[in-house]
Amino acid sequence: MIGRSRRDAGQAFPIYMMMVAGLLFLVFAFFAVGKAAALRNGAQGAADAAALAAAQQTREDFGAPFLASLPGNMLQQFLQVHEVTGCPAAQGLAAANQADIVSPGGCQPTRAGLYRDRITVNVKGRKPVNSSVLPGSEETRAKAKATAIVEFRCIRWKAFDFNDDGDQDLYIFPCGDAGVVKIEPSNPPPWSEVKKRLYDVRLVDN
């Protein structure tokens, strides 16, 4: 009986070791999946931040040409033809969130109508998954994409030339929930005071 018990124990030991090895593999696999998901969320956060940074910088850069277009009543022309300049700001925010702007795609501005610009940013995280149970994960890095828009929300403005000299003296912009913005081209307010009321910046679905 004692010999049989020893033989049974000897036969059970390899099975036990296989079960332990299988459980360890599952633990490492779940850990790898969790790490990959965390890196993916981090990359998405970096993409969101980068897209918003590019859109906010574009809105900031609109200030000088926007205000310069008002005296000669050239605002409509500015809205139709302008540069989207904020992409250089995207890399800084991506880097701050452990990611980099990548190609193809990179940072792409596109027109989305007369009063709206879209900026789509593609990023890759800097940290690899690097799991022993996932072959090739040493070089696998999370990728993500985000899109932000810069939208002029005061589309039915009125311009007044009180002196009939060709120079506009007053603009009144009804800007929806942002209220009414009044701008005298000869003495415009600081762009920092009106930019958020004139232009909305937000993330949108890709």
Read off the pLDDT of residues 6-27 as tens digits, 9 standing for 90 and up.
455 455 556 655 665 555 555 5
Q: What's the pLDDT at 123?
A: 95
Q: What's the pLDDT at 19?
A: 63
CA distance linking residue 29 with residue 127, whole number of Å? 18
Please check whether residue 65 lies inside any domain of the structure: yes
Please check whether residue 89 lies inside any domain of the structure: yes
Please check whether residue 162 lies inside any domain of the structure: no
Please check whether residue 122 lies inside any domain of the structure: yes
Q: How many domains does the chain have?
A: 1
pTM (predicted TM-score): 0.80
Read off the pLDDT of residues 93-136 as tens digits, 9 standing for 90 and up.
999 999 999 977 799 999 888 899 999 999 999 887 655 545 55
Please check whether residue 42 lies inside any domain of the structure: yes
Strand extents, DSSP E, the chain: 99-101, 107-111, 116-128, 141-152, 158-160, 170-174, 180-183, 199-204
Domain extent, residue 18, equals: 2-150
Please check whether residue 29 lies inside any domain of the structure: yes
Please check whether residue 195 lies inside any domain of the structure: no
Q: Is 113 exposed, middle or buried (0-12, 13-18, 19+ CB in 10 A)?
A: exposed
Number of H helices, E strands in the chain: 5, 8
